[in-house]
Amino acid sequence: MSEQKKVALITGANKGIGLETARQLAAEGVIVLLGARDIGRGDAAAAPLKAEGLDVRAVKIDVDDREDHAAIAELIEKEFGKLDILVNNAGVQLDGELGSNTTLTVSEANIRKTFDTNFFAVVALTEKLLPLLRKSEAARIVNLSSVLGSLTLHATKGSPIYDAKVFAYDTSKVALNSFTIHLAHALQDTQITVNSAHPGWVKTDMGTDAAPMNVVDGAKTSVWLATLPEDGPTGGFFHMQDTLPW
């Protein structure tokens, strides 16, 4: 392995936006660790990318399992000695119908599970991998958020999301956006950038076939933020290269 090649870890990458992000980053010469809860599904997802000549390797990581956090940190330390890109892509939506207001119907259990995966796991994994990210010349952290995490748009009558209030999911992404802002500030004197990405409404298991965007375009925001130049933004919330309101 060339020491000059960048190394990326993408969680929840055995399908959908995560898998396409892996493909696009690997096509740019990045060594991609394709994270999956089920290593069998991860291997199956990685196989066609490898057949294309892309440097992709499936790794087991259930973001809700802190033992997996420790194991992946140990693997990266042993085999690469650093991590250049972390894409916190894994997430869940347990509220139900995206076009409704679930505030009065979603269970406390679903709220807690949503926050465990979409917020607490992201914070824990990022903190675990931060020593390896610090060893990179210019690390990039990308947190997969959603426009549904915009408080400004939720509070603005007539906005595209005003009537789409899936409470557990939305508030977990609000919390994730706050983590982006706080972590970027904490790392402002380093070469590490931290940004939130809204991929768009994409044809995935979560987005359904009703979504207007394809997966290739849905991965572009993550890839852009993962490969920012030295003078790139940090502490922001973006779709493609447009800034979104918090």
Catalytic residues: 169
| Paired tokens of 190 | 């380093």
> Three-state SS for 202?
strand
d(CA 12, CA 149): 19
> Three-state SS for 196?
strand
Closest by CA position to 35, among listed 77, 6, 64: 64
Neighbours of 153 (CB within 10 A): 18
| Residue 85 contacts residue 191 (beta carbons within 8 Å) | no
Q: Which helix (H) or strand (E) holds 68?
A: helix 66-79
d(CA 220, CA 54): 18
Burial 160-196 (b: 16+ CB within 10 A, else e): ebeebbbbbbbbbbbbbbebbbebbeebeeeebbbbb
